[in-house]
């Protein structure tokens, strides 16, 4: 995209070259017929470039004012509302272009504070936008403050953690083994309360021994009879013996 098209007379080539270089230094894209391709028609290229450009700078001088090409290019730019005029000698723009303001650059030698050059720059900014070079220089990019550096923290020892984990696993396994052992004993022997009640219960009385019936004595031998005719009972065994004796006698 072309920012500025420059129309001029070849008799003023040196002055126009200084203008083109100064405008390019501001960051604008400049086209003038030094870049005209050899295989294209001059009229077609000029018409296309003026239509493409955002602004057209016509450099008026005695020779350019007499050029039909320069007048035609100025008229095309005026109709498209993109005409900037500069005068480099004692002449004035021809009719009808003398009705439009122009910048006097007859004594300009490249000074950035020259009144005529400041006028040209103002017209460029209005038609093409702010000068890219000046805009880039005036932009201040804020620099974010760097965050404070994090405090150094030594790396944790993984070995200590693994040892602690192993100790915890062994402890848990031992606790589970104890719990399972106690639980199995409780299941086999019964709860402690039942065991205590069983221990407090009185022992059962021993079964009574069976009573054996007395064996029947053999028939008593003939007891000796004393002279008085009474039976001698001195050796009798008590009432039981009397019963047995009576049974033997037939009573």
Let me know if residue 162 belongs to a domain.
no
Which domain covers residue 86, as residue numbers? 4-136
% of the chain residues with pLDDT over 70: 60
Q: 82-96, 108-122, 129-143, 159-173: lowest mean pLDDT where?
A: 129-143
Residue 16 DSSP SS3: helix
Local confidence band at 213 (pLDDT 50, 70, 90 cut-offs):
low
Local confidence band at 234 (pLDDT 50, 70, 90 cut-offs):
very low
Let me know if residue 232 belongs to a domain.
no
- pLDDT(83) > 90: yes
Let me know if residue 20 belongs to a domain.
yes
Residue 226 DSSP SS3: coil
Let me know if residue 56 belongs to a domain.
yes
Degrees (nearest 5) of the Cα angle 192, 194, 197? 110
Q: How much is the pLDDT for 33?
A: 74
Tokens 């017209």 correspond to 123
Degrees (nearest 5) of the Cα angle 19, 25, 30? 60
Let me know if residue 150 belongs to a domain.
no
Residue 146 DSSP SS3: coil
Q: What is the total count of domains within the chain? A: 1
Handedness of CA 236, 240, 245, 246 (dihedral sign): positive
Let me know if residue 23 belongs to a domain.
yes
DSSP annotation of 31 reads E
Let me know if residue 214 belongs to a domain.
no
Let me know if residue 167 belongs to a domain.
no
Query: What CATH number should be reported for the domain holding residue 70?
Result: 3.40.50.10140
pTM above 0.85, yes or no: no
Contact 2, 53 (CB under 8 A): yes
């Amino acid at each position: 995209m072309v920012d500025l098209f420059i129309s001029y007379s070849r008799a003023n080539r040196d002055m126009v070259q200084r203008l083109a270089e100064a405008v390019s230094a501001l960051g604008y894209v400049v086209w003038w017929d030094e870049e005209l391709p050899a295989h294209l028609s001059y009229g077609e290229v000029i018409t296309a470039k003026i239509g493409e450009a955002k602004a057209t700078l016509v450099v008026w001088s005695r020779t350019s004012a007499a050029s039909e090409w320069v007048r035609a290019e100025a008229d095309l730019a005026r109709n498209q509302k993109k005409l900037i005029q500069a005068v480099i000698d004692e002449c004035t723009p021809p009719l009808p272009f003398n009705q439009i303001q122009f910048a006097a650059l007859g004594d300009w030698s490249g000074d950035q504070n020259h009144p005529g050059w400041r006028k040209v720059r103002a017209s460029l900014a209005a038609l093409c936008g702010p000068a890219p070079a000046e805009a880039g220089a005036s932009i201040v990019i804020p620099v974010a403050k760097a965050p404070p550096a994090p405090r150094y923290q030594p790396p944790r020892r993984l070995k200590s953690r693994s040892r602690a984990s192993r100790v915890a696993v062994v402890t848990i396994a031992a606790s589970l083994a104890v719990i399972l052992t106690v639980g199995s004993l409780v299941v086999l022997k019964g709860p402690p309360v039942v065991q205590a009640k069983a221990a407090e219960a009185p022992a059962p009385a021993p079964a009574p021994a069976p009573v054996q019936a007395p064996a029947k004595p053999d028939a008593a031998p003939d007891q000796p009879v004393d002279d008085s005719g009474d039976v001698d009972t001195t050796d009798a065994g008590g009432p039981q013996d009397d019963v047995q004796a009576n049974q033997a006698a037939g009573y």
